[in-house]
Amino acid sequence: MAKILVTGGTGYIGSHTVVELQQAGYEVVIIDNLSNSNINVLDGIERISGIRPDFIEGDVTDIETLRKLFKAHPGIKGIINFAASKAVNESVQKPLLYYRNNLVSLLNLLELMPEFGVEGIVFSSSCTVYGEPDRNPIDESAPIKVATSPYGNTKQISEEIITDTIYSGAPIKSIILRYFNPVGAHPSAEIGELPLGVPQNLIPYLTQTAAGIRKELTVFGNDYNTPDGSCIRDFIDVTDLAKAHVIAMRRMLDNPDGDKLEIFNLGTGRGLSVLELIESFERATGVKVPHKIGPRREGDIEKIWAEPSKANNVLGWKAEMDIDDTMRNAWRWQQKIAAKTK
């Protein structure tokens, strides 16, 4: 089977995707600068798949590091590009860091692919490119809205860079995957989300509150135009999401005459509110989550969930996990890392 480069492969979605790639028979090489992840993730990956991926500690924004990697690992046929900074509010404080990190890394990969015979790149994009949808569920034909953060803008610009490169006739293909809200952890509890510092995203903050690490979860607003007043999202299990990347890679590499560029929304098609997610966690685990209603968070989208039929029918992928099972996996992972950090 082909050799795949996974940039950001010790990260949350990256590590889960590495496991699925290995279990599908692909050989995996990871490059990660460990700026937002931990090298011990390699042990967790190996404990699940039995295979320790090749690992290079390095920065994808440095083209010479990448060139050296391709020379040292001939035969890489595909890339999955996760390496990027991803904290929405941090991007507002540090826009240049986000534009440099997220865009230069992609430019380097695209420039080197033809030189080293790399055929396809799967790009990790986000539903954030849609902004506040005019209607839900949202499919791939929905308009791209003006970005509400430099982070979201780097995703939009990255998609345009890929599109223009392919339309210029470059000998490469790409599949762009627009994630909704990735949540949960591997059922083995060997890998999961490892937020550094105070978690910005809902699930890690929720599980840390359930574990007593945080005193109370604040629900950012219950005065939205939704049934229970809290925001609605499409929470997609990280393993379901990881599996979509393997299918996308196979589709690109096994169909030389296939489309050179495809875009898919990766969501469950089910909108859940923040309060409903808290209920799911408490029902699934039997653990109460102390929480209160607080003010709205600046920049939050009111409601967004996917219309995933293109991914279901064209890509041949469908989210399968039940949200309560996903919450149980998230809790099992939280208990595992809490034990480790004692």
Assess whether 99 carries a catalytic annotation.
Answer: no
Partners of 28 in the β-ladder: 4
Q: Quick check: helix, strand or coil at residue 81? A: strand
Length of the chain: 342
Determine what percent of the chain falls in helix, strand and coil, rounding each to the nearest 5. 40, 20, 40
CB of 139 to ligand WQD, least distance (A): 18
Question: Closer to ligand WQD at the Cβ: 3 or 296?
Answer: 296
User: Which residues bind to ligand WQD, rule: CB under 6 A?
Assistant: 86, 88, 126, 128, 181, 200-202, 205, 217-220, 231, 233, 274, 297, 300
CB of 115 to ligand WQD, least distance (A): 30
Question: Closer to ligand WQD at the Cβ: 88 or 191?
Answer: 88
Contact of 221 with 290, CB cutoff 8 Å = no
User: Residue 137: is the preceding peptide bond cis (ω within 30°)?
Assistant: yes
What is the residue whose two structure tokens read 């990280």? 238
Residue with nearest beta carbon to ligand WQD: 231
Distance (Å, whole) CA 219 – CA 214: 14
CA 122 vs. chain centroid, Å, equals 12
Question: Closer to ligand WQD at the Cβ: 70 or 179?
Answer: 179
CB of 325 to ligand WQD, least distance (A): 19
CB of 82 to ligand WQD, least distance (A): 10
Selected catalytic residue, list 151, 179, 205, 224: 151
Bridge-based pairing state of the strands 291-294 and 181-183: unpaired
Q: Quick check: helix, strand or coil at residue 239? A: helix
Question: Closer to ligand WQD at the Cβ: 202 or 249?
Answer: 202
Residue 142: phi and psi, rounded to 5, are -65, 150
CB of 104 to ligand WQD, least distance (A): 19
Question: Closer to ligand WQD at the Cβ: 183 or 248?
Answer: 183
Active site residues: 151
